[in-house]
Amino acid sequence: MKPHAFIAMPFGSKPGHDGRPIDFNRVYAEYIRPALEAAGLEVFRADEDSRAGDIRTDMFQELLVADLVVADLTLDNANVWYELGVRHALRARGVVLVQGPRPNQPFDIYTDRKLNYSLLDGAPDPAKLPAERDALTAMVRASMATSTRRKVSPVFQLIPNLEQPEWRRLLLAERNEFSDAYDSWSSRMEVARVTTQVGWHA
């Protein structure tokens, strides 16, 4: 099972800080998704889910169990900031921040590392896209390689005695298909782990 990435970003066309529209669907399709897939991750964005049910349940599930969350901070989008805050509260690690052009940086994440991407006529700049996509792939790989050691959540950084919840055992009040699939995968991994240990000791 591939590592799982959840993307927190605006959908469709939204006005940028200069008033000109930005096509975030193209940002996702041409920049974010292929960069993460090149890093070996399975990529999910909430608007791709065609299942019936409460989209907020699925969103909380993803923010809880995803190996990586990528947040696009180009706009001051309330949904994206909320989702980033939930992830920072639940998990100490596994966040990558990206952004297109913006005139200033919000104070609370001013010092956080962010990967910038370029736009041309409201879409990824084709002249710079290959290099910027490769840079995102490299950042994702580096983040995944250090995901068990370095805390990126400011909540867990600034409250050193705060312990991350045992998120693998947390269940949402409303289960969904991803919950069942994750449980099935976890069970198979535990069987494989035990079997390997028994075989090694034999």
Task: Give 32's DSSP letter.
Answer: I
| 161 found inside a domain | yes
Cβ burial of 194 (10 Å; 0-12, 13-18, 19+) is exposed
| 202 found inside a domain | no
So what's the pLDDT on residue 160? 84
Given a cut of 50, the residues of the chain with pLDDT beneath it are 176, 178, 185, 197-202
- What order of strands is seen across the sheet that includes strand 42-45? 42-45, 4-8, 68-72, 95-99, 115-116
Residue 72: φ, ψ to 5°: -95, 115
So what's the pLDDT on residue 199? 45
So what's the pLDDT on residue 150? 76
So what's the pLDDT on residue 80? 96
Cα separation, 184 vs 188, in Å, equals 6
Rg of the chain taking only CA atoms, in angstroms: 18
| 58 found inside a domain | yes
So what's the pLDDT on residue 202? 38
**Residue partners of 14: CB distance under 8 A and separation at least 6:** 21, 22, 24, 75, 77
So what's the pLDDT on residue 99? 98
User: What one-letter code names the amino acid at 175?
Assistant: R
| 176 found inside a domain | no
The range of the structural domain enclosing residue 91 comes to 4-165
| 173 found inside a domain | no
| 195 found inside a domain | no
Beta strands 68-72 and 4-8 are parallel
For residue range 15-58, list pLDDT tens digits in order: 999 999 999 999 999 999 999 999 999 999 987 765 555 677 77
| 29 found inside a domain | yes
So what's the pLDDT on residue 198? 43
Q: What is the CATH classification number for the domain harbouring 94?
A: 3.40.50.450
So what's the pLDDT on residue 148? 63
User: What SS3 class is residue 42?
Assistant: strand
**Cβ neighbours around 179 below 10 Å, total:** 17
So what's the pLDDT on residue 173? 56
Q: Model's pTM, two decimal places?
A: 0.81
| 116 found inside a domain | yes
Domain count, the chain: 1
So what's the pLDDT on residue 51? 52
